[in-house]
Structure formats: C-alpha cells, structure tokens
Structure 1
C-alpha cells in the first residue's frame, strides 16, 4: 500500500499548536479523522476534535471526517495540510438538547411562576393561552425527539462557545420573549376569550401540518446518510420539488400557526429572526448542492419560501 507524506503547517503563526509534527504519512485508506487522531496523539494527547484540517489552496476546513485524504484534490496537489486549533469542543447532540430544553422549561415554569410575575397573575389561563403553551412546548419536544432519534450529524462536535449563542437565541427569543407576553393576564383580548375561536383552529391546523411535514422532511434527510456516516446525497420527494429546504418552509408554516393562536408581537419577532437565519442557511445549502453534484442536481429557484405559482405547479404537476 503506497504512502504519501503531507507537510503539516500551523494555520496561525501567532497561535501555533505546540508539538505539532511537521509531516504525516497517509495511504489511500487514511481518512480525515485518522489524520486528526495521529496529529493529536503526536501533539501530546490533544483532543482530535479540536484540530481543524484545512486545504492549502482554498483554506477551507475538511468537514467530512470520514472522507479519504487521498481524494482531497487541493491537499494532494500541494502535498500539504494546514492545522487550526478550533478550541474546546462539545458534541452537537449535547448543544441541541440543551438549547431546545430551555424553552420547554421556561414556558412550563409560567404555570407556577405566573402569580409572582404579574399583577393579577392568579387569574386562570385562557384556553388560548393554554393552547399557545401546548403548541410551543410540543414544538420543542419534537425537536428533542428528532435530535435523539432522527438527525444524523456529519460533524461530531462544535466549539463550546457556540452553546451560548445557540441557547441565547432559543432561550431568549422563543423562551422568555414569548412566555412573558403570551401568558400575561393583560394579554391581547383574543387570548382571554372563553373559547377557542376559528382563528385558533386555523392556527392549530397549520401547526399540525407544518410540524408533521417538517418531521417527514427531516426523516428524508436522515435516510440519505447511514448511521454514523457522513456521506451526502441529493434529497428528493415531498417538498424538495418546490424548494431547497422544505424543512425550513414547513417550520415557518408551523410558527405561523403558533402566531395565529398567540396573536402576539413577540411571536412575530421570533418568526422574523428565525426566517432570516433559515433563509441564509437555505441559500448556502442550495449553493453547496450545486457545487457538489453539478448537473445531477436539479437546481431550485426558491431556497426556502416558494412563490404561490410554484406551489400550484407542484400540486398540479
């Protein structure tokens, strides 16, 4: 089995990784993770997940830990890899569980803390407020389920600092921001109605449709990858004939349903922020699919939100 020697260079001259070897031997079966493990051991037992391997030409991190080094064109052309210390790491699974748990506990806590937060807080919740709480909590319970049993992550870890950013987004904007305004005894009059009205029913229907469709999309994406695998595929089927990321589209539908029930500006704020972020991710996903699969991939005009015409065409075509 022929071997190749790759030069190993610190990406940052100002903050070099101590004891990093100057070269590493690879074969045609050596993966990105294998190189990380070898370098981490030689660098004094460093966590291999902290090591980011970049190609010398585009200086992009090789994200697929199971990819063969011999198939990385830029690396093999220059016979060199750049190494960057990514800092302390934490598993994606742990981050997702913590960030989604926040809104669940925050919303449920208002069942006990409401009398201590508001004047007249001992007044009973309206049916609409109870429905709002149930929808938000069920949304994040579903996300926890998907994290544990559906999603298959291509990367095993992320920088520890990301947990603070991720938790801030969910705990503040979909946690405290929603809960404080929605469960106020002086909330919008529609929330204090004695019965669930037609707008709430429409909202509930949209919520159930959006959540079920979002789950279906996530299962489709999960099935593109084997358990523990990092391979990528072209997603097809329900929703993917309309937009690049139907999971984001259906997520938006579900939150529009929540908005119709909460009738709160706080929900609008969270929905706008979430849609902006998901749109950025969807655009990147479309570019990545085009770059990786070329003519095999049917290009999408709409990354996340389709035009009415596109929806009608998909339903009738």
Structure 2
C-alpha cells in the first residue's frame, strides 16, 4: 500500500500558489491594461468650478446744490468710469446742460470735482450722491488765450497806423515819428505773437473749460490797457525818452533777452511735463536762460515782468508802468502758489529759492 505524502507546514509557506487561486489568462491581461491606464492618467482631480465674475455698478444721485431736490439718478455706472463719463450720461438725461456746464461736488459747499476723478474713489457705497451747479456758458482754455492775445496785437496796430478816427489827420501828417515809436510797435507785436505761437505749438493746454465771464474779464483787462498805452505811444505829440537813444537801446536789448528767456523757460516746462515726472522741480540745462531755475521757482514770470519793465523804460509812458505794476502783482500771487506747491511735492527742494525774484520774493 502506498501512503499519500502530506506536505509539511513549511512547504505551505514556501509555495503561496497552493492557497491563491489561479487567474485565467484573459483576466490577467485585462487587469494589466487597467492598471496601466490608471497609472498614465495621473492623479484624479475634480472638475474646476466655474465662477461667474460679478461687476459692481454704481448709482449716482444728482441733487440741486441750492434746493437739495433730486434732479435725476444715473445708474449702471461701471467702477472704471470717470466723472466726465457721469457728466455725459447726465447730459443725455438732461440735454439742457452740456457736460462743460455741469459742476459736481460731494458737498454743497465743497470744491468742484475734476473730470478725471475715478467714480470708484468717490464711492462709500453703491449709491453716490453729488450736488449739481450750473457753471454757465463755458469756453475752452485755448479759446481764452488766443482771444486775449490776438486782441492786443490787432489793437496796437490800429493805433500805430494813426487812423483818422483816433488822431487828428493834419497833426499826424505834420509830426515825424521818433524811432522809438517804430521799435515799440515791433517789441509789442513780438511779445503777443510769441504768446500766440506758444499757445498753438508749445504749451500743453488743459482740455478743461472756464466760464465765459472769465474770458470777458481777461479780454477787458488786456484789450483796455493795450488801447490806453498804444494811444499815448503812437500819439503825434508823444515825447521820446529823457536819455535819448542810449535809454532806448539798453532797454530794448533787455526786452529781447527777457522775451528769449521766457520762451526757453516755457519749452523747459513742457519737456518736464512730457517726461511724466511732474513732482520734481525742473532743473537748468546747458541753455543759460534756464539757469534762473537755480534761484526762483517761476522764472517765466520773472522774464515776463522784466519784459514789461524794460518796455516801460524804453517808452517812458505812465500807462505802460501801471500795466507792468498790475502784472507784477498778479504774477507774484501765481508764483507764490506754485512755489508752495513745489515745497510740498519736492523733498529735495532747496529752501534758498524764492518764488519769482531771486533772494527777494
């Protein structure tokens, strides 16, 4: 009799196939393919959640600054809009007011907001309340300057021609003109022609507007004084300067130097604005006319006053002296404001500098 061999426990451990059931050949191939597919797919990620962007629109409530009554509500204002965009939408609702006539403020007695202000900077909530004031008929700054400077140029020429409606024809025919009369006409025309050309080709004038009444005031001042001083200088009984040709020549040279300096300073200021660094004080260049920047904040005003003072000495007339004095007072006020602005913006600004007159003002 044969006895069946009974495997030992150690043999069971060495041969695991005894306990594991054998997989069919097709199942093994399917399992291998599935494992390769899972490994090549990488980590499983949930599908991205689509988030819809929400744009917050503002509503602008416009009230009358005097009566506090609501005029209209301009809605659906994007956060990237400026105050000028609000004015245009306001104009569509109320066509009787053009955007240039619309003055908007955050408070009834506050300052007017600039057109470039972003509407988001004004918003404390989704509803913005602004107070409206009708600014009246407006004109562009370019129109203001061209009108103010063209008038004196033409008015002076009318007096220089000694029209019979202004002077006595017989007296004008008998009297001979002193050379200073011709020189004064040339200098006066040169001054305002320079202003006109710089307005058109040099200055970067703001696209804003100003009330029409301001232009009328400026034209009254410039045109009125031009008529007054031109009447005396071109009068047949005009008396030449006390010190003769020497006084006329020196003052004429100073006038031309101041005109040249004024022009080069204006060009330097334009280059400073184009560079984008408006917070820094313009520095002098190799041009000697710009060296005045080392001593004053507004050398263009310095040269302007120098032109009119030399013109006063050259013609030796009271109307020109009064005009030069009033211009000096006005420009001194403008220069002080700009000087204070430079002191606030420029950290490296030299305290020894003055506003308009070196070491004095």
Q: Quickly name the TM-score band, shorter chain normalised.
A: 0.7 to 0.9
Q: Which has the higher contact order (CA 8 A, sep 6+)?
A: 1
Q: 1:81 aligns with which of 130, 133, 137?
A: 130
Query: Which residue in the other structure is 1:248 paired with?
Result: 301
Gapped runs of 5+ residues in structure 2? Answer: 1-53, 284-289
8 Å CA contact 1:90–1:158 kept in 2: the answer is yes
Q: In structure 2, do the counterparts of structure 1 residues 83 and 221 end up closer, same or farther at CA, with 3 Å as the change threshold?
A: farther
Query: Which residue in the other structure is 1:210 paired with?
Result: 258
CA–CA separation in structure 1 for the residues paired with 2:313 and 2:184:
9
Q: CA RMSD in A?
A: 3.1
CA–CA separation in structure 2 for the residues paired with 1:152 and 1:248:
18
8 Å CA contact 1:10–1:84 kept in 2: the answer is no
Q: In structure 2, do the counterparts of structure 1 residues 121 and 24 end up closer, same or farther at CA, with 3 Å as the change threshold?
A: farther
8 Å CA contact 2:65–2:108 kept in 1: the answer is no
1:7-62 deviation line (CA, Å, top 9, x unaligned): 4343522497xx84235554442223222222222223631111123233971122
8 Å CA contact 1:20–1:39 kept in 2: the answer is no
Larger radius of gyration between Structure 1 and Structure 2: 2
8 Å CA contact 2:162–2:234 kept in 1: the answer is no
Shift of 1:266: 0.8
Query: Which residue in the other structure is 2:87 paired with?
Result: 36
CA–CA separation in structure 1 for the residues paired with 2:348 and 2:76:
35
8 Å CA contact 2:100–2:138 kept in 1: the answer is yes
Query: Which residue in the other structure is 2:196 paired with?
Result: 144
8 Å CA contact 2:339–2:354 kept in 1: the answer is no
TM-score w.r.t. length of structure 1? 0.81
Q: 1:69 aligns with which of 113, 119, 133?
A: 119
1:189 counterpart SS class: coil
Query: Which residue in the other structure is 1:56 paired with?
Result: 107
Q: In structure 2, do the counterparts of structure 1 residues 60 and 97 end up closer, same or farther at CA, with 3 Å as the change threshold?
A: same
Query: Which residue in the other structure is 1:128 paired with?
Result: 180
1:239-262 deviation line (CA, Å, top 9, x unaligned): 333222211111011112211211
CA–CA separation in structure 2 for the residues paired with 1:278 and 1:266:
18
Shift of 1:294: 6.0
Q: In structure 2, do the counterparts of structure 1 residues 12 and 103 end up closer, same or farther at CA, with 3 Å as the change threshold?
A: same
Q: In structure 2, do the counterparts of structure 1 residues 240 and 129 end up closer, same or farther at CA, with 3 Å as the change threshold?
A: same
8 Å CA contact 1:224–1:233 kept in 2: the answer is no
CA–CA separation in structure 2 for the residues paired with 1:297 and 1:270:
33
CA–CA separation in structure 1 for the residues paired with 2:180 and 2:319:
16
2:247 counterpart SS class: helix
1:84 counterpart SS class: strand
8 Å CA contact 1:242–1:300 kept in 2: the answer is yes
1:66-108 deviation line (CA, Å, top 9, x unaligned): 343334xxx3458443332111111111121111111111111
CA–CA separation in structure 2 for the residues paired with 1:138 and 1:114:
22
1:112-133 deviation line (CA, Å, top 9, x unaligned): 3355533422223211011011
CA–CA separation in structure 1 for the residues paired with 2:241 and 2:293:
37
1:21 counterpart SS class: strand
